[in-house]
Amino acid sequence: MIAGKVIKVCGMRQEENIREIEALGVDWMGFIFYPHSKRYVAQPLDYLPTNVRRVGVFVDEEFATVKELIKAFKLDLVQLHGHESAHFCELIREQGVEVIKAFAIAEPEDFKATKEYETHCDYLLFDAKTPLYGGSGKQFDWSMLANYTGECPFLLSGGITPQSAEALSVISHPLLMGYDLNSGFESQPGLKESCSIRLFLTQLIQLTQ
């Protein structure tokens, strides 16, 4: 953990890049199994990280497919980014993985949707509300996090860039447990810039010491 927070890098799919980002000491790495994503993992990868937790990202996928990919990629966590029910989350947890349920946020009222999921997921993820399912590079108003009064820990996603460290360091919500890095650190979809992530992590450590 960097500065007491989980660092998740999502949208990985190239072997050399996976090794490079893994070497930075991040905690979780996300692989997207949503066919409409620019970062879609369409086939088995030649290398999977061994020193980070593997997260599979799905959008309204069939249970059988999620179950199959949990085994094929030896996933530790499953992130559900669509309209999956709380019951579906429980079914996934029964496969021996932790579940992250994502919620799109545009206004304080959007946090109400988390209530029925809190006891059926291990973590939540708050992202900006856009026509896309993540990776949009858009940021919602982080001051709205004060409106989340639930009990399930969450990751913050959406529009985080190498310049975000200072703004993130002053967020004091007690259940903020990590940051999800994606498009703001890319040279192209699915290819992360290790120098940008390294700079971000260095600044975050300095600001939170």
- Bridge partners of residue 98, in order along the sequence: 77
List, in sequence order, every beta strand (DSSP E) within the chain. 6-10, 28-32, 53-58, 77-80, 98-105, 123-128, 154-156, 176-181, 186-188, 191-192
pLDDT, position 131: 67
Percent of the chain with pLDDT over 90: 90
Q: Which pLDDT band holds residue 134 (cuts at 50, 70, 90)?
A: low
pLDDT of residue 40: 96
* CATH, range 6-208: 3.20.20.70
Mean pLDDT across 163-170 = 94
- Confirm if 148 and 112 have CB atoms less than 8 A apart: no
Active site residues: 10, 127
Q: How confident is the model at residue 132 (pLDDT cuts 50, 70, 90)?
A: low
Q: What is the pLDDT of residue 129?
A: 85
| Confidence at residue 208, expressed as pLDDT on a 0 to 100 scale | 85
Q: Write down the mean pLDDT value for the chain.
A: 94
Q: What is the mean pLDDT of residues 61-88?
A: 98
User: Which of the pair, 73 or 3, is modelled with greater confidence?
Assistant: 73
**CA 113, 126, 153, 40 torsion: positive or negative?**
positive
| Two structure tokens written together for 137 | 């590079």
Structure confidence at residue 130 as a pLDDT band (50, 70, 90): confident
DSSP per-residue codes, 53-98? EEEEEESS--HHHHHHHHHHTT-SEEEE-SS--HHHHHHHHTTT-E
Q: What is the pLDDT of residue 175?
A: 97
Task: Report residue 3's pLDDT band, with 50, 70 and 90 as the boundaries.
Answer: confident
Q: How confident is the model at residue 136 (pLDDT cuts 50, 70, 90)?
A: low
Farthest-apart Cα atoms in the chain, separation: 45
